[in-house]
Amino acid sequence: MAGLGVFNSISLDGFFTDINGDMRFAHKSAPDAEWDDFVAGNARGGGILLFGRITYELMAGFWPTPAAAEQMPDVARNMNALQKIVFSRTLEKVTWQNTRLIKDDPVTEVRKLKQSSGDDMVILGSGSIVTQLSQAGLIDEMQLVVIPTILGQGRTMFEGINEELSLNLKSKRIFRNGNVLLCYEFDA
């Protein structure tokens, strides 16, 4: 059975986007070669990327561009090559290479994907998808990068969670730029 993880950045006060839905705060870290190597290595990880519409539009608007290829060539190449699925009831089509649009319920579809796919999957951004799949018990691992920034207000990834979900800390890693990677697994 395929695994499902989440990889997201959050501010020190727990927001994954600012009040306007912007995630740029996560990319304002001080220069750090170790962090850059980690990001590039993560993009080489393979598997299937899962997005909601908003995150898909942000990613598809950047990674296939010449600017992305110039700024982060390894990450751009891998992001473009990976298989991607976007869950949306409103998008009519997707144009980013290797992307499939699914208009059906994410919980039902991810349950099927976990059973039938050999490839692990990871959700990037996509708070509403994270919420739905967390409540359904479908997420196996959560990797959160705490960015040393306080936004004051914004959106959490868990808006709409209506029950307590317990996680266990699996590992942690501190980078010189102040970013902290926390890896959790959900209680069984």
> In a structure prediction context, what are the per-residue pLDDT tens digits for the chain, which is 188 residues long?
889 999 999 999 999 999 998 888 988 777 888 988 888 777 667 789 999 999 999 999 999 999 999 988 988 998 999 999 999 999 999 999 999 999 999 999 999 999 986 789 999 988 899 999 999 999 999 999 999 999 999 999 888 888 889 999 999 999 999 999 999 998 76
Q: Which domains does the chain have, with CATH numbers?
A: 1-42+134-188 (3.40.430.10), 47-119 (3.40.430.10)
CA distance 173 to 183: 9
CA distance 180 to 170: 14
Q: Which two tokens stand for residue 182?
A: 């926390």
pTM of the full predicted structure?
0.90
Q: What is the pLDDT of residue 188?
A: 64
Q: What is the pLDDT of residue 60?
A: 95
CA distance 10 to 20: 15
